[in-house]
Every structure is written in C-alpha cells, then in structure tokens.
Structure 1
Amino acid sequence: MKNWQTAILALALALFTWFLVTGREVVESWVDMPVVMTNPPEGLIIEDGLVDKIQVRLRGPKGLVGNLANQNIQYHVDVSTLKIGAQVVDIDASNIPLPSTYEIIEVKPNRLNLKVDRRITKDIEVEAVWSGDLNSDYSLQEVVAVPNRVVVRGPETILRKLTKARAVMKEDFPDDVPSSWAEDVGIELAPEIEASPGQVRVEAFFGPQTRQIWVKVPLEVQAPEGYKVSVSQKFVRLLIEGPIFLFRDDEYRKDIVVNLLFGSEVAPGSLNLEYDVLLPDGCRIVKKNPETVKTHMKKQ
C-alpha cells in the first residue's frame, strides 16, 4: 500500500517538473491575427489595401505560445483620420495586444497601403441593348428600358465619370422573329457600384428588312351605272416598299389591286381621276405614276 502511494507521488512530481520545464522553454512562432477597422469616417470607404489579418512572429514560453490561436486576439486599426486618396497606415507593434511575456520580432505586413474614397449617389441613364443572332430578313428597330434611369451608389472617383450604364438583353431569333420581346435584365456595373433598381425591363422591337420596287399593275375600271368609260391607259406603275422576303417571287403581285375612283357626282366629259390601291400586308406606296388617270365618260 505504501509503495502504491509513493508511485503516485513520484508520477505527480514528474508531471509537475515536465510542465515547469516546458513552460519555461522559449520558442518562436508565427501567429495569424485578425485586423479590425475602428472609427471609420462617415461616408468614406476603403477601396483597396485592406487586409483581413496580419502575421506576427513572436518569441515566448512554449506552453503559452501554443494557446494563442485559441484566444481570438485582434489588431485594431483606428481609421478615424483617413482622407480621400492614397493613405499609408503603419502597423505599430506596440499596439498589438500581447502581454510583456511575449517578444514581437516581426510583423507582416508592417504597413497598409490604403486607397480611400467617398461613397456618393447619382442618377444615371440606362442604355438598353439587344445582343443575339437574328434572321437576316429582319432587323432590330428599337430597344427601350423601363425605367430608363436608375440611382447608383458607389465610390466618388468612379461615379464622377459615369453618365450611363448598359442593360443587355441576350436572345437569339434565327428563324421566327417576334415583333417585340421583353425581359427583366440586370444593369452592367462595376462590382463596387450598387443600383436601385438593380434590374430594368428591356423590350426590343423587330421588323422585316424592306426594299423599294417598281411594279406595273392593271387598272380595274367599274363604270358607274348608265355610263360608258374609256381611260388613257390600262396600267399604272407603283413604287412600293415592303419586306424583302415578300419580293423573292411574284406571288405578291396577285395581292395588288388598283381601282379607278369615281366621285359621288358623275357627269359626262373628260376627267382626271384618282385611283385606290390595295397592297399586301407590310407594304406601303412610295410613289404613283401617274397620280391620276385621264378618263372620258359618256352616257350610254
């Protein structure tokens, strides 16, 4: 029984001696220390140069150094005196919150090269853009954004030069092309800039590509009741504008109808009469030749 107690006492003395020797042993080590900015000036932002942590090389008792990682020690940087532009802030080793038990040998980085700016708001125009593959028979006619202006917030040095931002709709229409297409699209801005709203409604309007062409069309004459009518020409020439794809064959000519117009007051004699033109969908008259037709009317 006495030997057992002696063994326990010897073990305890051995452990105490080991901890005593280990605790007094001096070692060097690198320790990561988070950086916290305090007292930031109102309206100012740090655009560049800010680090999340510094590395501190220190010397101290081995037992204590090993426990530093669990103590959540932070290095505080007072930025209350920062001004707009480039600033250098030294990392002062004397401000590192460590007891005198530790000797600080080196700090990385030992200074911060900060770029400071002011945060402002500004009203800018939204430029709506469509990008995509389009059937060659069609063309983009217009692109609009709703709303067409947004409020942006960010660094003054960037916003000072910014007058508009783009909202790009990306859609392909290689075959069937709608007359219009609308989507909610995000505004393209630098990462440092926020927009309100962040999305706008972009609508693109499409239409067929057109060309002008002269056509010769027979003149249809329906004489008023009780009259006989003779005209100076049986055909008129029309300059019409219409979709390119419509003119690829002559089928469109079947849908062009020209009718001589008789007024409500019909009387015998020679007259210059206008004529009405019916065109295929999507076409319009650019010019008539002639504008009027010489007509002779007599009673039957």
Structure 2
Amino acid sequence: MVKKAGWQRFLTSLSKNKGLKLLSLVLALALWFAIGGEERIETSLTLGLELVNIPRDLIVTNDIPSQLEVRIQGPRSVVRELANEKLHQRLDLTGYKIGNHVFPLSPGSLNFPRGVVVTRIRPSAITVILDQAIIRQLEVNPVVKGQPAYGYEIKKISVTPEQIDIKGPKSEISQLNSIKTLPIDVGHLSSPVTREVDLDLQNLHLSYVGSKPILAYLEIIPIKKTKVFHKVKIIPAMASGPVKLNPAQVSLTVRGPMAQLAGLAPDDLTAKVELKNLKPGSHRVEVSAALPSGLELVHIHPEKVQVLLQKAKKSS
C-alpha cells in the first residue's frame, strides 16, 4: 500500500507543470548528448599542491613537491577549460601528529567535472614528515664573496642583530649554534658599506621569526704598506747664497695606503734642508720631507747631510 501511494504521488506531481518538466528533461538530454557525443581528448595538467591546517606546534621536515602532474581524458570543451584554469590540490593535515604520513593520490581523490577521467597522477603518493617545531636563538654568521678593490681589505664585519630567533624542527635546529647569511658581495668595494642580508636556509627547514631586517656593516679600509723611495732630491730652503749638498739625494721610507704608494715615484716626493739664518760655511743639517696627504714618514737616510753655504755674490 505504501509503495502504491508513493507511486500515485509521483504520477500526480508529474502531471503538474508538465511544460516545465518537459523543458528540463529536454535540456538535460541535450547536455548529455552534447557532452557524451563530443570528441574526447587527452592532455596533461599541472596542479599546485598546498598543505593546509598544519598543527601550530609541528613543522614539515621533508621537501614536498609544489606541483602534481595529472593526465586526464574528457570532452574537448571541458578539457580545454580545465587547461586554462589554475588548479590546486590541498592536503589537510588537521589532527596529524609527529611522524611520517603517506597520502596516496588516486583518481577519486581529485575533484574533476563529470565526464573527465584521470588516467595518471605523478607522484602517486605524497609523504609528509612532521616534527616538533621549536624557536631557538642563533648567532648570525656573515659570509662574504669576492675581493675589495685593489689596495683595500675588510677590517671588520658586524651584524645587527647579532642573534636572531629561528623556528624549525627540533631534530634539525638543536644541532645548530649559528646560522649563515647568503654571501655578501664585497667585490670592488673601497669604502665602508651597510647591506641588508638574507639567511642561507637552503636545504634547511628553518624560518626567521623576527620582523627587523638583518644588516651587515662591512668596514673596508686601505691596506697600508711601507715602501722605500731612493734618490729623492734635496731642496735647500732659505739659503743666503749658493749651496752645495753632500749627498744631494736621500732615501725616504714611507708608510701609507698600498694603492697610493703604487702610484708614486721619487720625483713626487720632496726632501729639504732649512738654511735660514745660517752663515756661510760648512754645516751638518737635518733633512725633512714633505709628503702627500695620507702618507707617513718612517725614516730618512741619511738623516743629516753636509751643507756648504757660500757667500752670496755681490751684484756689480
């Protein structure tokens, strides 16, 4: 009796709104024939892979592929539409604990429109390794590459902040005492510079949890060398008459920036003897030197020279 009454209700409802029901049926059949009768093609799609709802106290410690390659077969119009979309597949880690977890990827695990068949998924499974996440303070170890300009060197490198908070898996971060920066290029530098630097986290499952930028200050200074310049001419100053010097040249030992010294010749330097207020005759006079800015006099050889000061000739 129940079955008969239900059948009667179905027939009664069908008799109402016959036009609307007929139209729905026609449209459904048309859509079915359109899709079912359309040429079927096969293509490969790339799906972005995303891990969601990772427990806050855990962290992923292995490398997860960022994409899935999926081979599908279906009606041409549907497949082309899918190929133009950005598709994603999510792995929900809600409730998962520390350990290794394998997520098989079967055709049924992917949500595609009706009529589309998945023929291949690569990879066919995703392994996710979860470990306890901890935060630890590590020292920043600056790394440099290249060489400063000729004649210059790095005197000091300082990093601000010196220590930073790093988040990572306990098994990994507990073995570290410091964290390196990506190489800082010092090539051709000839003056102090401050650079914002990034951390070298390659092959590490770590992250910097601070908000302040990491700054490296590189103190670049001239390399100082000592060089001896021979045969520097002595100039007599304030002489009251003709002068003879013995010797007439000295050697100067000079200290200063290597690049500056490399460009100097003996003719660029000056040695002199002060003869003011000296009477004609023979004198032992100390030699002094006038040097370009940035240079320091280390030694003069000889320190004194013999000066023969003659009487000035009277004009007739």
Q: TM-score, normalised by structure 1?
A: 0.51
For structure 1, the 5+ residue unaligned runs are 1-8, 58-68, 98-103, 223-231, 261-272, 295-300
Instruction: Kindly indicate whether the alpha-carbon contact (under 8 Å) linking 1:130 and 1:204 is maintained by their aligned counterparts in 2.
Output: no
Contact 2:273–2:286 under 8 Å retained in 1 = yes
Matched residue SS, 2:152: strand
Match of 2:139 in 1: 124
Matched, 1:89 2:103: yes
Matches within 5 A, 1:223-242: 237-242=251-256
Contact 1:49 1:115 in 2 (8 A): no
2:164 aligns with 151
Amino acid at match of 2:139: I
Q: What does residue 198 of structure 1 align with?
A: 213
2:165 pairs with 1:165: no
In 2: Cα distance, 1:34 partner to 1:129 partner? 36
Please say if residues 219 and 236 of structure 1, whose CA atoms lie closer than 8 Å, have aligned partners that are also in contact.
Answer: no
Quote the offset at 1:115 in angstroms.
4.0
142 and 73 in structure 1: CA distance in 2 versus 1, 3 angstrom threshold = closer
How far is the alpha carbon of 1:213 from its aligned partner? 0.8
TM-score under structure 2 length normalisation: 0.49
- CA distance in 2 between partners of 1:14 and 1:149 (Å): 77
Higher strand share: 1
Residues 187-212 of structure 1: CA distance to partner in whole angstroms, max 9, x if unpaired?
34236544444330423423266441
Q: Secondary structure at the match of 2:194?
A: strand
Are the aligned partners of 2:273 and 2:287 in contact in 1 as well (CA < 8 Å)?
yes
Contact 1:47–1:117, Cα closer than 8 Å, also in 2: no
Residues 277, 155 of structure 1: CA spacing in aligned structure 2 closer, same or farther, 3 A cutoff?
farther
2-structure distance, mates of 1:75, 1:199: 34
Partner SS, residue 48 of structure 1: coil
Separation in 2, partners of 1:167, 1:291 = 50
Who is 1:282 aligned against? Answer: 294
Q: How many equivalent residue pairs?
A: 241
* Superposed displacement of residue 128, structure 1: 5.8
Q: Contact 1:46–1:117 (CA<8 Å) still a contact in 2?
A: yes
In structure 2, how many angstroms separate the alpha carbons of the residues matched to 1:258 and 1:49?
80
- Separation in 1, partners of 2:247, 2:69: 97
Pair 1:248 & 2:260 matched = no
Aligned to 1:186: 197
Amino acid at match of 1:250: D
C-alpha distance in structure 2 between counterparts of 1:113 and 1:189, whole Å: 25
Q: Is the 8 A contact 1:219 1:235 kept in 2?
A: no
1:112 Cα offset (Å): 1.5
Deviation (angstroms), 1:19: 5.7
Task: Specify whether residues 289 and 212 from structure 1 end up closer, same or farther in structure 2 by C-alpha distance, changes over 3 A only.
Answer: same
Structure 1 residue 42 displacement after superposition = 0.6
For 1:106-121, what aligned pairs fall within 5 Å after superposition? 108=121, 110-119=124-133, 120-121=135-136
- Aligned residue number for residue 142 of structure 1: 155
C-alpha separation in 1, matches of 2:90 and 2:196: 43
> Quick check: 2:101–2:129 contact (8 Å CA) kept in 1?
yes
Give yes or no for contact 1:75–1:96 (8 Å, CA) kept in 2: no
% identical equivalent positions: 10
Matched residue SS, 1:200: strand
The change in CA–CA distance for 1:206 and 1:199 in structure 2 (over 3 A counts) is same
* CA distance 1:220–1:80, shift in 2 (3 Å): same
Cα deviation digits, residues 101-123 of structure 1 (max 9, x gap): xxx99894653122445544332
Superposed, 1:203-222 pairs within 5 Å as 203-207=218-222, 210-215=225-230, 218=234
In structure 2, the CA distance between the partners of 1:42 and 1:16, relative to structure 1 (3 Å rule), is same
Is 2:57 the partner of 1:42?
Answer: yes
